[in-house]
Amino acid sequence: MTTNYNKKHHLQLLKQRSMGENSNGDELLNYSCILQNHLEWKIHDQYLELIEEFLKENISMPEFFNELQIKNCSIINAVVFLQKHRSL
């Protein structure tokens, strides 16, 4: 299912969730995925640099995966923070 991002609706869903209404959980999850994908796109150049470093053998495979995990966790934490504080 493709959803066009609607900030006002996303904020409304977050407000409903904070009030204990969970009827739109799938839709809210979809918006969370859109937000996460957007943040990942914003740092795509960092991903490319990391891949280049790995391909040039400047970093090992464990270092590469560790850096990927750090970036992924940072993005997930950012999504949680932005949604919690409704700072979209």
In the 3-class helix/strand/coil scheme, how is 3-40 assigned residue by residue? Answer: CCCCHHHHHHHHHHHHCCCCCCHHHHHHHHHHHHHHHH
Please check whether residue 79 lies inside any domain of the structure: yes
Provide the domain count of the chain. 1
pLDDT by residue (tens digit) across 26-66?
899 999 999 999 999 999 999 999 999 999 999 999 999 99
Structural domain range at position 74? 7-84
Please check whether residue 33 lies inside any domain of the structure: yes
Please check whether residue 16 lies inside any domain of the structure: yes
Please check whether residue 2 lies inside any domain of the structure: no
Q: Is the pLDDT of residue 1 over 60?
A: no
Please check whether residue 48 lies inside any domain of the structure: yes
Spatial contact of 86 and 11, defined as CB atoms under 8 Å apart:
yes
**pTM, to two decimals:** 0.80
Gap between the Cα atoms of 64 and 53, Å rounded: 8
Please check whether residue 46 lies inside any domain of the structure: yes
Spatial contact of 3 and 31, defined as CB atoms under 8 Å apart:
yes
Q: Is the pLDDT of residue 83 over 70?
A: yes
